[in-house]
Structures are given as structure tokens and as C-alpha cells.
Structure 1
């Protein structure tokens, strides 16, 4: 899609199939199955689609997918990873390689967002890029607790640390591209806004992972701080809708970009499908 002078693409970072109950938390199954497809194992498809933003002279990737060859057989089975990353092929179709990426912005460091940062030897996939991560998120990634160690994997660490910038509350990475701390899904979870020539988009990461999670109360069981997720969604989503933002999705199986109707605040007004 075009966003002012910027081009925005979704890349194929691989797919997971995750238990629907975990992804919708305390929401009854009878409600969420009306909003999102589910298989006979009660799993919902959660593709990972790193977002490529091309400005006039820089290339930015938001999150990195599940990588290629990073998951064990057990992990592929447990997380329903039917296929892994095709980022190289998608970049090649745009006459690019991973060496052409200037910035990597991480909403958070859970495995399904961070496995594509490195290869199995710990070398940076995006070797020329500056990597930007919220400071608290980075430290928990380095020293996960009893709960978070299941998703902050040591094997996703590596020499990208040599080109690492940390921020606290917010950072304007490039003119028109800003990353901001929200917390909620993880303590250091962040969101990204993109603006060019008056056109605007927001990627809210995993506090708003699919359009089925539009209701502020619909948060995942994976959220470490669910009340913070609810607080951020309750305030931010209506404001972004009224300010005519596109909502960009990393995980939604059907939609890449959505605008919601300003009158109803819930109905989809325009959208860009993944199909």
C-alpha cells in the first residue's frame, strides 16, 4: 500500500496456529468463534507478517517473524508452525535483500516476533540495520522470569547487539516513523506510528493483534499486564479511528490494513486483504 510518499508491504515471516482460548483469554469461546476462524483442535491461525516501510531513502522492518530453521521439531508441533519465514523471497521480489534494511523496530521480543532476528549461529539477519527495542523489554529479554522464559529465547539473541539502540517512552526513528512504549502484552511492549503527507497508520502490536480483538476487554491470556492492555486500547483505538489512521496487523490471517468507520467506531470502512 501507499502511505503518502511511503510504501508499506507485509512480508511472510511464517505462521503459527495457537490455542484460541489462549488468544482470547477470558472471552467465552461461543463469542470469539464468531469473529475469527478456528480449526478442529481449537487453534486459530496467526501468521507473522513483518511490516516493511520504505521511505524516500530508508528501509524499515517492524518485527521479524519466526525465522527459518530456528524452531525445533517440538516447537514447530507445539506452536503449529506449518511453514517458516519467506522473507528472503519476498524481499527478492522487491529487488531487495536483508542487507538493504536500515532499521529493525521491535514491538516486543516474544519468539514469534524475534526469532527472525538471527540465524542459528546468532548472526544478525539484517546485518546492516540499527535495531531499536524498548529498554525494559530488552532487559527482560536478557533475564526472563519464570513465566516469560518460555517466549524470550536465548537463541534469538545475537550480534545485532552491536547495532542496538534502546529507548524509554518514545523515539522518532525517522521523520514520520515513531515507536512508543505501551506495556500490557509485555512490560516493554511498544507500538509504531507511520505518517507521510497527511496519511497515517498505526501498528499496535499484540495489544491489538487481530481485528477480532477490537473490544478493549478482549485481550490474550499471554498478556502479562492485561489491565494495562485494556487501558491502552480503551484510550488509543478511538483516537486513532477519529484521526483517520490505518490499523496495520502483523497477526491477522485476513487483513493487513483496516480503517474503521468513524460513526460506528467498530464497522470496517475500508480494508486491504491478505488474499
Structure 2
């Protein structure tokens, strides 16, 4: 597991699984000869997308998790194949290495509730789905929660009943923004989904960001490089123009190369935290 200590905060990436999604869909209208220079692609035109929740320690004595991973035993064989899942979640083993159990997680911050972020919130216990993080408060935007429960003809492919019914009693929603605990803020942006949110961490005098799936990897830094999966691509573009700033740290859930990156005003990488090769 990779860890990054910045100020008094420690971020630890947990083993939440791995997917491989179509590169064309992940880069939308951007021609492949451009994006493949920035992010590796396999012979099936798939790019590797980690689904690794970020454990945050050092804020108010709480154990905070961003996203929940792909889960384990939640997908059919067909889904595993179609989504290129090569590894499922081993969250409990990752937490054990930190001296924790899933029941020790106090807060889970969900940028949105698409299956590759939310499947890890519940698990099968015999023939019943139950919460994984049984003592946590789970935060997501009010818009996201409403659509998750009543998806439309497009979003029903990613908003699944199995991912919200078992944890409904744990969920706390918000409209524009919320501060679950001092030092961390969730801000509704829309874009990737109508209810999508980003996360801002205060580290001393510095702010660092997790932009969720409006910038799922470092290769999506260009505001115009948005996903074909985005429900509202122009909203994503506007949000990226607003929130991507020079000399500022951004950290990732999906990136297979970097854990965090800082760019200069011209879009050149100033500093980076690489992902360690899995042993």
C-alpha cells in the first residue's frame, strides 16, 4: 500500500480492486494518438483504472475513507469481464495492516455513487447484503442520492439497488457543500454525474484536492479532456476550469501511475507522488 504524508495528514491507498475500461470512452472525443502518449493502453484498447479508496488519518482523530472500491463478490462473471476487473477488493486486509477493521471507519466520502466507486459499501453475508463500514456516516450529495435511488434510462446501468439499500440508514446528504469534520470539505460540482462532488483538504495553509471523476487520472488535466461517460460534459469542463489550479496538489482514486500530482501554470508536472508497483 502506498502512503503519502503531507503536513499532519497521512493518506493511504487501500487495495480496492482494478478495472480496465475502454480508452476511447475514458477520453471522449480526444483522438487516441493524443491520449495514448499520456496514459498506457492495452491491445484491447483498455486503460487500467485502479479503484483504490484513500484512507485519511490525522483529522480530528477520525478514520476517513474516500470512495469504497469495486467490492468483492458483487459482480457477475459477465460484469467482471465487461468491466475488465482483474482484482476485486481486499479492503479488510489493507485495513488490518493499518491496525484497523472496517468497523473502525468513521466517515466515508463518496464523490458519486457509480458502481466502481460504491460497490465496496456493501457485501454479501450469507444471502443478505449488509454494510461493510457498519459504523460510518456516508456522505454524498442530495442530488446524487436521489438519482441513485431513482435512476433514469441512462444511469440505471451504474446506479444499483444493491449499493444503496443496505447502507441507506448511514447516509447523510448535502446540497452545495458540507464540512463533515474540520479540515475537509465536500463541494457539489455536477458534471460526471448530476450529483458529483469534489473533496478539499486543508493541510496547514495549503489546500489539496480530490476531483473524483471530473479528473480521474493525471492524463485528464486538460479541461477539455472529459469522459464519454460524463452525463454533463460542459459542466465537467467548467468545473475543471474552476478547480484545477497551478502549484496545487491533486490526488487520485483511479490513476495507475501517480497517487498525486502538482502542475505549473503551463500544465507541466512540478511534483508527483508515484504509485508503487504491486509486489
Same-fold call, TM > 0.5?
Answer: yes
More strand by share: 2
State the match for 1:66 in structure 2: 70
- Write the mapping of 1:106-145 to structure 2, written as runs, cut at 5 A: 106-120=110-124, 121-145=128-152
Q: Which moved more, 1:72-81 or 1:49-58?
A: 49-58
Aligned counterpart in structure 2 of residue 2 of structure 1, from 5, 14, 20: 5
For the Cα contact (< 8 Å) 1:5–1:56, is it kept in 2?
Answer: no
For the Cα contact (< 8 Å) 2:60–2:181, is it kept in 1?
Answer: no
Provide the C-alpha distance between the structure 2 equivalents of 1:58 and 1:81, rounded to a whole number of angstroms: 31
Aligned residues: 269
- Alignment of 1:227 onto 2:234: yes
Q: Which moved more, 1:2-11 or 1:204-213?
A: 2-11
Q: Which moved more, 1:152-161 or 1:214-223?
A: 152-161
CA change 1:88–1:174 in 2 (3 A) is same
- Alignment of 1:184 onto 2:191: yes
* Residue 195 of structure 1, CA deviation: 1.0
CA change 1:199–1:3 in 2 (3 A) is farther
For the Cα contact (< 8 Å) 2:25–2:227, is it kept in 1?
Answer: yes
- Alignment of 1:91 onto 2:92: no
State the match for 2:270 in structure 1: 269
State the match for 1:39 in structure 2: 42
Provide the C-alpha distance between the structure 2 equivalents of 1:272 and 1:68, rounded to a whole number of angstroms: 28
For the Cα contact (< 8 Å) 1:106–1:132, is it kept in 2?
Answer: yes
- Write the mapping of 1:156-175 to structure 2, written as runs, cut at 5 A: 156-175=163-182
Q: CA RMSD in A?
A: 1.1
Question: What SS does structure 2 have at the residue aligned with 1:7?
Answer: strand
State the match for 1:206 in structure 2: 213
Provide the C-alpha distance between the structure 2 equivalents of 1:267 and 1:217, rounded to a whole number of angstroms: 16
Deviation by residue 1:75-114 (Cα, 9 ceiling, x = unmatched): 0000000110121111111111111100011000000000
TM-score by length of 2: 0.94
